[in-house]
């Protein structure tokens, strides 16, 4: 996090690139993360035949993983690529939206000590610095 409560949108997108839903785990968006994980698993289950995974029967190795990746059908590759891209965009958008909402909620801060203030005060109740307020047009 760059500041208290702020998330890095690019980090969320990179994590989503590594595996769809991982960026949402970083953002603590648990339901969205589970949905993205489930979408990848269900797409893989529906579009990839069991015979594609046959090289992994002898154990996991680099050669076996390369053989599996070469045997994945084009439609499955395109679908998984689209899911990854959409997950990256969603994670980036969620992080950006969360940062904007955090800025709006934070409200006013004291120019001297930087602590949160209530809107109706004329001084900081933390460090007693007098606050210069613009004139209220309703008065």
State residue 29's pLDDT score.
94
State residue 61's pLDDT score.
92
Domain boundaries, the chain: 9-106, 108-139
Instruction: Please report, in tens digits, the pLDDT of each residue of the chain (139 residues total).
Output: 344 568 899 999 999 999 999 999 999 999 999 999 999 999 999 999 988 888 888 899 999 999 999 999 999 999 999 999 999 999 999 999 888 776 544 557 777 777 777 777 778 877 888 777 555 555 4
State residue 31's pLDDT score.
96
State residue 138's pLDDT score.
56
What the block records as the tokens of 121 is 């005060």
Distance CA 105, CA 102 (A): 5
6: CB partners within 8 A, 6+ apart: 99, 102
Distance CA 36, CA 25 (A): 10
Using alpha carbons only, give the angle 74, 77, 79 rounded to the nearest 5 degrees: 110
């Amino acid at each position: 996090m760059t500041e208290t409560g702020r998330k890095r949108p690019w980090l969320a997108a990179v994590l989503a690139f590594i595996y769809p839903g991982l960026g949402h785990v970083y953002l603590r968006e648990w339901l969205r993360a589970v949905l993205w994980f489930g979408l990848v698993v269900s797409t893989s289950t529906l579009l990839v035949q069991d015979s594609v995974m046959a090289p992994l029967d002898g154990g996991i190795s680099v050669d076996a993983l390369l053989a599996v990746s070469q045997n994945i059908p084009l439609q499955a590759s395109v679908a998984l690529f689209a899911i990854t891209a959409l997950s990256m965009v969603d994670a980036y958008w969620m992080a950006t939206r969360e940062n904007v909402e955090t800025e709006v909620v934070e409200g006013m801060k004291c120019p001297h000590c930087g602590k949160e203030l209530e809107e109706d005060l004329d001084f900081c109740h933390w460090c007693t610095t007098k606050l210069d307020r613009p004139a209220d047009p309703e008065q």
